Structure 1
Amino acid sequence: MTDNFSPSSQVSPELKDQELEFLNSIFDLARNNKPIALQSLLDQGIPVNLTNSHGDTLLILAAYHEHEEIVRILLKAGADPDRLNDRGQTALVCAVFRDNLTISQLLLDAGANASLGTQTPADVARFFDLPSMQELLAAAASTAE
């Protein structure tokens, strides 16, 4: 997952290269497991659901790169676990794909919808034959009913 931030309708097209570089560096913090620096920026008002040019949120990147502490920080700060990236993937789909039980459970506990995405988390668990993920998602579905 790349993190090249580009101006969109949400960001002023007058952003300078230095500003774009700064925004891209925020995604690096989530990808490279820099919880203290990321927490500091969140405390200063960086949007918790900041999204890059691919639709990836900080939470999606942290889940994909299996950074549990970053996931916890972002969820505590109010990150939306159900945001979809441009490929229709959620943070939960990323955690399931990585077969990361802890992060998947954190996301489910935070209210992640296991039915979202172009491929749902259950679809991903079945396709990649991830029994622990299939079990977790089945248990989550049964408690949701």
Structure 2
Amino acid sequence: MATELSPQVPDHDAARTQSNTSLPAETVTFAHRIFDAAREGNTELILQAVDAGLPVNLTNEKGNTLLMLAAYAGHVELTKGLLQRKADPNRLNDLGQSIVAGAVFKSHDEVVRVLVEAGADPRIGKPTAIEAAHIFARKELMEVLGAKQGDIGADVPISPSARPEK
């Protein structure tokens, strides 16, 4: 279940709580620290907090989970630790982006492998992880993602920088 912090904090992460009521400033500050720690790969802090009761699927005001922030930043050990604690590898953020597609986009191949092994669906979100691998000509990831014929529609472009030289 998602949670939501006070929306009065401009241009910074806020967690979602079960209601739309404002939370104490200390709680908001703690949430900022936790989301920053996920981006920074502070595995010890994040996993201790989750083990102490912090919801493993806590989201910020953009719908990004701790797992999404850690994976997007390429933190393999934190990604593994969150998955071991039952973080959902298939949560989409508010823009409909998947965690595994973000890892593909950022070229974090080991994170992609860890997410796929944990059950991340490479066919959810927009673009899907398979589409992202195609767009950026990441052929080595297509097999990891289990790409099949029909996964790439005619409307999915390929990056000009990924096109072969003529």
TM range, smaller chain: 0.7 to 0.9
What is the alpha-carbon root mean square deviation over aligned residues? 1.7
Q: Which runs of 5+ in 2 are unaligned?
A: 1-10, 149-166
1:4 maps onto 2:33 in alignment: no
2:116 touches 2:144 (CA, 8 Å); kept in 1?
A: no
Residue of structure 2 in register with 1:81 after alignment? 89
Distance 1:71 1:39 in 2: 10
- Distance 1:7-1:94 versus aligned 2 partners, 3 A rule: closer
Q: Spell out the pairing of 1:9-24 with structure 2 (5 A cutoff).
A: 10-24=18-32
Give the number of equivalent residue pairs: 138
Name which one, 1 or 2, has greater alpha-carbon Rg: 2
Three-state SS of the structure 1 residue aligned to 2:26 is: helix
- Report sequence identity in percent: 37
CA displacement at 1:14 relative to structure 2: 2.9
Distance 1:101 1:128 in 2: 13
Q: Looking at secondary structure, tell me which structure has more helix per residue.
A: 1
Q: Which runs of 5+ in 1 are unaligned?
A: none
Q: Which has the higher contact order (CA 8 A, sep 6+)?
A: 1
Scaled by the length of structure 1, the TM-score of the pair is 0.87
Distance 2:117 2:70 in 1: 16
4+ residue runs over 4 A deviation: none
1:4 touches 1:52 (CA, 8 Å); kept in 2?
A: yes
CA displacement at 1:131 relative to structure 2: 2.1
